[in-house]
């Protein structure tokens, strides 16, 4: 039986309590292995190791030496590409072609981009004349914040974890990572990479477990942690922000969304249909940036609904390695229960089910997996639960609109503010909409197209702070001003 251990101070260790939990493959519910659950003792050890490492060889590296080490981490992830791929696919069930094009390459790229960023980041300086006629020169230096707690979700495990570990290490911090209990494998594998390329013990640590009363809560409430970076549900973000308040520790929060797409009658219809298909169904709808509300200008409403229906019905579920597979399962049976409860609620609320709404027939052992059908609804009021609440499944509600003003009003009528996408060939209109839709991320005639130098994050209840490029430096460093009088 495979054992997935904590990684603390450069060593793989079990927990003193001997507590373990199951890691299951959502494709067929088979057991991948047993995960060692960190208790307060292991979290304490990990934070102590991370603190000690700040003052050891890691803290003495020049920026160039650190950058070279992070480049080596990226190189080693790429060298062990298949190991990461197999581990990620087993934990999530996602198609291999998706993980091999998105999750694993971005896992490596996240170290490279922030190595480049820190090498080239400038800080401000000012000169002024003092009242006694001399000169005062101020300059800012960036210093690491210290020990960073990194708490991660399960939907893009390696990508989202390295999105935070990359900049944290580039800035000279040390980290304690708490991966999702659903997807513990790639964070653990990264420990092997760190050892291989000579990252000093204690710089990168991993503790496994759950949230409340487990590793997540022990870590975020630990007063040895200097900053908490979190990706996950808005409700969990609230708990994490409260934990950060004790000891005045800063938090960076990338949270949930209920993202809208706007499709105007003058769009390139093929681009709009193909891209909305991706934004609704990719990763089985488990992408924070994904679309769950689609607003379509009335003249093309029926045609668009029919085209998206055809795409949804063409999404063949299957094994990750099968090249014909277009959609994997949800991450777990528990998440499937949640998504199916929304499928039922949509019907109770009077939706027209355009397609899907249930569980697909899967052959043999796949029938035990966490599969759901890609689903489209129409005909619901904007007050319906499936139009307001984040479902995080392969589903959307499509609503017609008549005017730009009406589309903006419906789009903004949500407590969330993560992402949107706008489909039109009228770039004046697109720019106007981009100014008025209340989100952190806006795509025009595209979706999830990433330039890692740009600011990434959500507004309203979708998050606090921005990461990406130099914006990550704001969270992962303290800016210290030095003034010299001469």
Our CB check for ligand NAD shows the closer of 172 and 465 to be 465
- How distant, in Å, are the alpha carbons of 165, 339, 378 from that of 392? 25, 7, 18
CB-wise, 288 or 296, nearer to ligand NAD?
Answer: 288
Q: Which is nearer to ligand 6OD, 6 or 162 (CB)?
A: 162
Give whole-number Cα distances, 40 to 37, 218, 229, 236, in Å.
Answer: 10, 6, 19, 19
Partner touching 216 among ligand 6OD, ligand NAD, none, CB below 5 to 8 Å by kind = ligand NAD
**Nearer residue to ligand 6OD within complex by CB, 48 or 289:** 289
Which strands sit side by side in the sheet containing 375-378, from one edge to the other? 352-355, 375-378, 395-401, 291-297, 259-263, 419-423, 441-444
91 contact choice in ligand 6OD, ligand NAD, none (CB below 5 to 8 Å, kind-dependent) = none
As given in the structure block, the two tokens for residue 158 are 């390696």
The residues that touch ligand 6OD, with contacts defined as CB under 6 A, are: 155-156, 160, 163, 287-289, 450, 456
By three-state DSSP, how is residue 125 classified? strand
Q: Which is nearer to ligand 6OD, 163 or 443 (CB)?
A: 163
Positions marked catalytic: 254, 288
Contact by Cβ (8 Å): 433, 409: no
Q: In this structure, are residues 390 and 257 in contact, taking their beta carbons and an 8 Å threshold?
A: yes
Phi and psi for 319 in degrees, rounded to 5?
-65, 145
- Minimum Å distance from CB 457 to ligand 6OD? 9
d(CA 233, CA 236) in angstroms, rounded, equals 5
185 binds, among ligand 6OD, ligand NAD, none (CB under 5 to 8 A by kind): none
Spatial CB neighbours of 351, under 8 Å, sequence gap ≥ 6: 377, 378, 379, 380, 384, 386, 397
Q: How far is CA 133 from its chain centroid?
A: 53
Alpha-carbon distance 233 to 390, whole Å?
9
**CB of 379 vs ligand 6OD, minimal distance in Å:** 28
CB of 393 to ligand NAD, least distance (A): 11
Give which of ligand 6OD, ligand NAD, none residue 477 binds (C-beta under 5 to 8 Å, depending on kind). none
Beta-bridge mates of residue 12: 7
Q: Can you tell me whether residue 131 is helix, strand or coil? A: coil
Contact 340, 352 (CB under 8 A): no
- Other CB atoms within a 10 A radius of the CB of residue 312 amount to 22
Binding site partner of 211, from ligand NAD, ligand 6OD, none, Cβ cut-off 5-8 A by kind: ligand NAD
Separation in Å, CA 411 to CA 260, 272, 295: 6, 17, 8
Residue 240 touches which of ligand NAD, ligand 6OD, none (CB < 5 to 8 A by kind)?
ligand NAD
Encoded tokens for 6: 């904590």
Catalog residues that contact ligand NAD under the rule CB under 6 A: 151-155, 160, 178, 180-181, 210-212, 216-217, 220, 231-233, 236, 239-240, 254-257, 288, 390, 392, 418, 458, 462-463
Return the number of the residue (353 or 442) whose C-beta is nearest ligand 6OD.
Answer: 442
Residue 165 contact partner, candidates ligand 6OD, ligand NAD, none, CB within 5 to 8 A by sort of partner: none
């Amino acid at each position: 039986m495979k054992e997935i251990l904590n990684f603390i101070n450069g060593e793989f260790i079990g927990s003193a309590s001997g507590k373990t939990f199951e890691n299951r493959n959502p494709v067929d519910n088979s057991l991948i292995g047993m995960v060692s659950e960190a208790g307060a003792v292991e979290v304490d050890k990990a934070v102590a190791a991370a603190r000690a490492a700040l003052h050891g060889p890691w803290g003495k590296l020049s920026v160039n030496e650190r950058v070279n080490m992070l480049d080596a981490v990226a190189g080693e992830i790429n060298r062990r590409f298949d190991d990461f791929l197999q581990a990620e696919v087993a934990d999530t069930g996602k198609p291999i072609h998706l993980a091999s094009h998105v999750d694993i390459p971005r896992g490596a790229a996240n170290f490279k981009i922030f190595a480049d960023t820190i090498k080239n980041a400038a800080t401000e300086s000012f000169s002024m004349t003092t009242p006694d006629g001399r000169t005062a020169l101020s300059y800012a230096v960036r210093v690491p914040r210290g020990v960073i707690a990194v708490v991660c979700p399960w939907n893009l495990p390696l990508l989202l974890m390295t999105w935070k570990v990359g900049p944290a290490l580039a800035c000279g911090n040390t980290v304690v990572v708490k991966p999702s209990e659903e997807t513990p494998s790639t964070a653990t594998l990264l420990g092997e990479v760190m050892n291989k390329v000579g990252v000093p013990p204690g710089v990168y640590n991993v503790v496994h477990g759950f949230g409340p009363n487990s590793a997540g809560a022990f870590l975020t409430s630990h007063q040895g942690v200097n900053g908490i970076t979190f990706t996950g549900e808005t409700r969990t973000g609230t708990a994490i922000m409260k934990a950060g308040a004790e000891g005045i520790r800063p938090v960076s929060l990338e949270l949930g969304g209920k993202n809208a797409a706007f499709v105007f009658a003058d769009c390139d219809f093929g681009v709009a249909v193909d891209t909305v298909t991706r934004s609704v169904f990719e990763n089985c709808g488990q992408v924070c940036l994904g679309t769950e509300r689609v607003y379509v200008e009335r003249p093309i409403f029926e045609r668009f609904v029919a085209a998206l229906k055809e795409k949804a019905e063409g999404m063949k579920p299957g094994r990750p390695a099968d090249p014909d597979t277009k959609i994997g399962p949800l991450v777990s049976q528990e998440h499937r229960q949640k998504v199916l409860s929304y499928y039922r609620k949509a019907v109770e609320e009077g939706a027209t089910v355009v397609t899907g709404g249930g569980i697909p027939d899967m052959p043999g052992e796949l029938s035990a997996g966490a599969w759901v059908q890609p689903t489209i609804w129409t005909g619901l009021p904007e007050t319906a639960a499936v139009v307001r609440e984040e479902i995080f499944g392969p589903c959307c509600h499509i609503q017609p609109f008549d005017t730009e003003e009406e589309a903006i009003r419906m789009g903004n009528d949500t407590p969330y503010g993560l992402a949107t996408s706008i489909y039109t060939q009228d770039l004046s209109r697109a720019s106007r909409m981009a100014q008025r839709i209340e989100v952190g991320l806006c795509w025009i005639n595209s979706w999830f197209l990433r330039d890692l130098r740009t600011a990434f994050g959500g507004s309203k209840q979708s998050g606090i702070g921005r990461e990406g490029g130099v914006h990550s430096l704001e969270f992962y460093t303290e800016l210290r001003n030095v003034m010299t009088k001469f």
